[in-house]
Structure 1
């Protein structure tokens, strides 16, 4: 690579890194917001298991 080509390549790579860093920041922010939103559900534990309509029908042997 020539000197000018090297500078252009470095500039292109810096642009890609900047874009990547912005995307990572957005993902971290979204992940944090989800953790905050879902935190109370995690503290409650899993919901109780219920029998769905298809299982009820099988157990009752409806015609």
Structure 2
């Protein structure tokens, strides 16, 4: 999921993101978050949204 177009993140948007993630996982699709701008990341932290159940693209990188 590309977050680069998301300007604001609230509980309604977050709820939709988690629902989309659940459906995609049920379909066997590995979901990855990308495009999270610093301002959006700060909002996520301030509001207390826990996105840890959705993988970030960095977690798929093998070293």
Task: Decide which structure has greater helix share.
Answer: 1
Q: Which has the higher contact order (CA 8 A, sep 6+)?
A: 2
Q: TM-score, normalised by structure 1?
A: 0.31
Which of the pair has more CA radius of gyration?
1
Q: TM-score, normalised by structure 2?
A: 0.31
